[in-house]
């Protein structure tokens, strides 16, 4: 690790201990709220890691440091006896009882483990892996909708978070577009990557690993939805970079798009009820696809595959589609977005939109030095979201870009080959 990165880690540890010099006291409020009041044993890892990463990110933890801290704290949590946190079991005839834990006390213990690890590292910082992270840009807005039901995950530190040491670099990114509430999207964002990390075929057959991870996540959410009487659903688009391979997996109409040499490369076909094979699948099961302002499954949902939506299973399927391709090394970036973006932006428009945005602000996160006069810098993702909204989108919009080559190189190569009218437009 470079000296400045090590100093950044030490500076964070010092400031964290200034805020949390001692263990959190019983009965007091937690510094960050758990996702759920009760969690099953299977849900504990996802909910704990989400809680820890959220706490650390809000306090400026370097991403790799945050992932390693959470992994170490959760490993210690599992060494404790958690039976004092068990809830009274509710037994339903014909069903196996599910052991549930009270979230507040068990997450207080997890956060105290996290504080202990920070104290240890503050005295003796372990050697941290040097792994150059891809430049990313993400922006999400509620838009004109009453609630924000999108969620997203950016996890360049997949291996660090799950303690994988096989030497294969991995990074995970996902966008979840909820409907009928945010519960399914929040659940998927907390648990899909955890389920994926546990798959034995993660390296040998990532497509199968993703399909199993989606099914497991949907099954877990079914239990939570039944316990808490939840009715929501969520589409999902998730990608895993693993060595030189890129695996894309999806449910519903959120999409991923690869750009190579300034040209869009199709990676997938979104699941929509009017898609001929989806319509046939639904009708073969005894359902129907009808037009009610848009095409809907059995007159209800406008998506044909999703996490949740259990009142319309199996017509709304939780079986994910997957595709894996070998990266050639000349890819520009990957874009993930929900249908709120793609409803008004065609995939073929994306390369020019991104190039224009980069010309306006070469820092994709929009955190570079602002000009001496004039408005502050706006990130690439913000500009794409604003374009989709101006083009007529009224839905929640989430856009995420993962850049796969240096931005200077991307700009130079594209400007050299761009048509003159595009270059003129970029200068405006």
Q: What is the mean pLDDT of residues 19-48?
A: 95
Q: Among the CATH numbers 3.40.50.300, 1.10.8.60, 3.40.50.2000, 3.60.40.10, which is that of 136-368+376-427?
A: 3.60.40.10
> What's the pLDDT at 59?
96
Q: What is the mean pLDDT of residues 398-415?
A: 85
Tell me what the pLDDT averaged over the chain comes to.
90
Whether the per-residue pLDDT at 333 is higher than 90: the answer is: yes
Q: What is the mean pLDDT of residues 304-328?
A: 96
DSSP summary character for residue 232: -
> What's the pLDDT at 96?
75
Whether the per-residue pLDDT at 369 is higher than 60: the answer is: no
- Please give the structure tokens belonging to residue 285: 């099961």
d(CA 9, CA 94): 52
> What's the pLDDT at 420?
41
Spell out the domain ranges in the chain: 3-123, 136-368+376-427
> What's the pLDDT at 90?
67
> What's the pLDDT at 133?
73
pLDDT interval class at 397 (50, 70, 90): very high
Phi (first) and psi of residue 387, to 5 degrees: -65, -45
d(CA 312, CA 52): 34
Across 81-95, 313-327, 412-426, least confident range: 412-426
As a whole-number percent, the residues of the chain with pLDDT over 70 amount to: 90
Across 199-208, 295-304, 368-377, least confident range: 368-377
- Please give the structure tokens belonging to residue 2: 């470079």
Q: Which residue, 177, 149, 147, 172, is CA-closest to 161?
A: 172
> What's the pLDDT at 2?
63
Phi-psi sector, 345: left (phi>0), alpha (psi -120 to 50), beta: beta
Q: Is the pTM of this model over 0.85?
A: yes
> What's the pLDDT at 366?
55
pLDDT interval class at 367 (50, 70, 90): very low
Whether the per-residue pLDDT at 364 is higher than 90: the answer is: no
Whether the per-residue pLDDT at 95 is higher than 70: the answer is: no
> What's the pLDDT at 427?
39
> What's the pLDDT at 416?
52
> What's the pLDDT at 414?
65
Whether the per-residue pLDDT at 38 is higher than 90: the answer is: yes
Whether the per-residue pLDDT at 184 is higher than 70: the answer is: yes
Whether the per-residue pLDDT at 331 is higher than 90: the answer is: yes
pLDDT in tens, 132-147: 678 899 999 999 999 9
Phi-psi sector, 209: left (phi>0), alpha (psi -120 to 50), beta: alpha
């Amino acid at each position: 690790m470079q000296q400045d990165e090590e100093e950044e880690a030490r500076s964070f540890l010092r400031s964290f201990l200034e805020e949390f010099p001692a263990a959190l006291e019983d009965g007091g409020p937690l510094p960050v709220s758990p996702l759920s009041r009760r969690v099953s044993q299977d849900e504990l890892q996802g909910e704990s890691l989400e809680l820890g990463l959220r706490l650390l990110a809000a306090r400026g933890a370097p991403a790799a440091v945050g992932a390693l801290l959470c992994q170490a704290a959760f490993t210690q949590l599992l060494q404790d006896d958690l039976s004092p946190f068990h809830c009274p079991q509710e037994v339903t005839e014909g069903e196996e009882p599910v052991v549930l834990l009270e979230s507040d006390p068990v997450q207080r213990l997890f956060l105290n483990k996290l504080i202990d690890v920070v104290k240890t590292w503050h005295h003796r910082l372990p050697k941290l892996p040097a792994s150059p992270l891809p430049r990313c840009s993400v922006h999400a807005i509620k838009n004109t909708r009453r609630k924000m039901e999108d969620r997203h995950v950016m996890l360049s530190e997949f291996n660090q978070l799950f303690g994988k040491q096989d030497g294969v670099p991995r990074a995970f990114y996902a966008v979840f577009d909820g409907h009928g509430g945010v519960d399914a999207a929040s659940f998927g964002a907390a648990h899909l990557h955890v389920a994926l990390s546990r798959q034995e075929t993660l390296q040998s057959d990532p497509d199968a690993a993703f399909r199993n991870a989606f099914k497991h996540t949907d099954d877990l959410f079914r239990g939570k939805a039944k316990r808490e009487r939840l009715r929501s659903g969520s589409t999902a688009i998730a990608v895993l970079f693993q060595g030189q391979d890129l695996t894309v997996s999806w449910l519903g109409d959120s999409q991923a798009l690869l750009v190579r040499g300034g040209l869009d490369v199709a990676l997938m076909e979104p699941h929509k009820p009017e898609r001929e094979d989806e319509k046939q699948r639904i009708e073969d099961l005894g359902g129907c696809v009808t037009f009610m302002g848009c095409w809907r499954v059995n007159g209800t949902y406008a998506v044909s595959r999703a996490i949740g939506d259990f009142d319309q299973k199996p017509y709304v399927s939780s079986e994910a589609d997957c595709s894996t391709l070998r990266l050639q090394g000349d890819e520009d970036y990957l874009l993930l977005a929900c249908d709120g973006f793609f409803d008004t932006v065609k995939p073929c428009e994306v390369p020019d939109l991104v190039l224009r945005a980069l010309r306006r602000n070469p820092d994709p996160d929009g955190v570079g030095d602002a000009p001496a006069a004039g408005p502050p810098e706006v990130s690439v993702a913000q500009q794409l979201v604003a374009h989709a909204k101006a083009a007529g989108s009224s839905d929640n919009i989430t856009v995420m870009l993962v850049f796969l080559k240096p931005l200077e190189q991307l700009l130079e190569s594209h400007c050299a080959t761009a048509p003159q009218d595009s270059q003129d437009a970029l200068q405006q």
